[in-house]
Structure 1
Amino acid sequence: MSRESILSAVKKNQPDHQSLPELEQFYHNEAGDPAAFTKVVEFLGGQVIAIKSYADMLPLIKEYPSVVTTHPEFYPDGLQNWQEGDGRQLEKVDLAIIQGHLGVAENGAVWVTDDELQVRALPFIAQHLAIVLKSTEILPTMHDAYRKIGGPDAGFGVFIAGPSKTADIEQSLVLGAHGAKSLTVFLMD
């Protein structure tokens, strides 16, 4: 059989169009629970620190020699001009601080897009990652998160949940195996 005849046969044998199922039953009207979000993030190996202002982050950030932030108000003493290059310039960054769009209570994930990242490799190449998230932006479930995100407005988006981890066949869990070694979520009231 020729390639064209195979593709023609496939095209003729398409299933009938079916409507997508209704998902309204999965959506919630109430906000997500910051305590539930915190519990899951900590279970995944991260930490959540409640803050009232960006200044509350400073004592914890100062211990890192090399800090990059996507918003200068998070840490004014961060490295400058870090956006210039192909991402490899971030190889020795100790801490990256980024803004999160929304968090998901059921799995501890935080949605970030390239609007915040400026360099897509940033949360994956830095030694440690901190995400600033408003507590009012926590949603109960992934269904609610996808509903809020809607269509693909950004060129890139990713849910980040906890530091990277891997386990070998001997059941030994290693945090920070590839990507950030730790995740801190600064949860702002």
Structure 2
Amino acid sequence: MSSRADILAKVLQNQPELQVLPEDLSTQFPAIDPVEAFRTILTAIGGAFIDAPDHQSVQQYISEHFTGQRIISTLPELAAVSEQGWENQDPHTYANVDLAIIAAHFGVAENAALWITEDLMHQRAVPFICQQLAVVVRKKDILQTMHDAYLKIGTADYGFGSFIAGPSKTADIEQSLVLGAHGPKSMTVFALD
């Protein structure tokens, strides 16, 4: 037996007893208004929060703020401002995407995270390879806590899912915060009424 196999066998033999999860995983987050809490946290972590009455206002904002860029979107309502026929290609073809616009199933007020699964991304690489990311979420779908989020996800069947919160960032280099270190440089959340 190799040393690796020996170590793994010992780890397997010494597993702790399984613990039953508590029945009630809900907690109270002090936010009276989860949308406002989401806005505050998102802004604090480097993201931008835009109130949007409808998809038309999102389209107008994109047209005004992201001109002359390669824009892709998974939302049919934004077809007028995004490239068509980009879906399901080799992930390397998305390396020069300036702005990707996707929808989220829901957001979480306590940390401004958005739950996104592969069916909303169309391609797993899209929200991580683009220069700038925009996510559309309905205000009514902003939950209070991560406990609420996991209760909502439950036993849903999905191939790939991710919580995304704000633009990528690191403070590893000289303890200086760098946005866009290993992913999107910016993140804009459009909160639909």
* Alignment TM-score, normalising by the size of structure 1: 0.87
Matches within 5 A, 1:178-189: 178-189=182-193
Structure 2 spans left out of the alignment, 5+ residues: none
TM-fit CA distance, 1:43: 0.3
Select between 123-132 and 165-174 the one with higher mean Cα deviation: 165-174
Matches within 5 A, 1:83-102: 83-102=87-106
Partner of 1:54: 55
TM-fit CA distance, 1:146: 0.3
Percent of aligned pairs sharing the same letter: 47
Q: Verify: 1:130 aligned to 2:131, yes or no.
A: no
Whether the 8 Å contact between 1:104 and 1:138 is mirrored in structure 2 is: yes
Counterparts of 1:52 and 1:90, CA distance in 2: 30
Structure 1 spans left out of the alignment, 5+ residues: none
TM-fit CA distance, 1:36: 0.3
Partner of 1:71: 75
Counterparts of 1:45 and 1:16, CA distance in 2: 41
The aligned length equals: 186
Root-mean-square deviation over aligned CA pairs: 2.6
Q: Verify: 1:80 aligned to 2:84, yes or no.
A: yes
Alpha-carbon spacing, 1:24–1:92, altered in 2? closer, same or farther (3 Å): closer
The one-letter amino acid paired with 2:42 is: V
Match of 1:147 among 131, 148, 151: 151
Partner of 2:165: 161
Counterparts of 2:10 and 2:172, CA distance in 1: 46
TM-fit CA distance, 1:7: 4.3
* Alignment TM-score, normalising by the size of structure 2: 0.85
TM-fit CA distance, 1:10: 5.4
Partner of 1:20: 21
Whether the 8 Å contact between 1:27 and 1:144 is mirrored in structure 2 is: no
Whether the 8 Å contact between 1:32 and 1:104 is mirrored in structure 2 is: no
Counterparts of 1:99 and 1:9, CA distance in 2: 41
Q: Verify: 1:45 aligned to 2:36, yes or no.
A: no
Alpha-carbon spacing, 1:44–1:55, altered in 2? closer, same or farther (3 Å): same
Counterparts of 2:27 and 2:36, CA distance in 1: 21
The one-letter amino acid paired with 1:117 is: M
Whether the 8 Å contact between 1:46 and 1:162 is mirrored in structure 2 is: yes
TM-fit CA distance, 1:155: 0.3
TM-fit CA distance, 1:45: 0.2
TM-fit CA distance, 1:15: 5.1
